[in-house]
Amino acid sequence: MNIQKELAACNSTLNLSSQSKGPVEYSFWLMANLPIDDKMKLSLLAINSTIQRLRCELGILKSVSW
């Protein structure tokens, strides 16, 4: 999964294999842990499609300078 690769690249101590979340729960977990402001989090919350939300979060991960 591209998101897990991006997370591993920014935080090598993060244990991604222990996360057994479904896609919906994972998208909300990711949103809560992204280094973004509340306005951006509200924008992500407004997205009804889990796939679209995850795609947006991946775009954010790729654009953030760690």
- For the stretch 23-66, pLDDT in tens is 999 899 889 888 899 999 999 999 999 999 999 999 998 887 65
Contact 21, 29 (CB under 8 A): yes
Domains of the chain: 24-66 (1.20.58.1480)
pLDDT at 2: 74
Pick 9 or 38 by higher pLDDT.
Answer: 38
pLDDT at 63: 86
pLDDT at 64: 76
Q: Which burial class, exposed, middle or buried, applies to 58 when counting CB atoms under 10 A from its CB (0-12, 13-18, 19+)?
A: middle
pLDDT at 47: 97
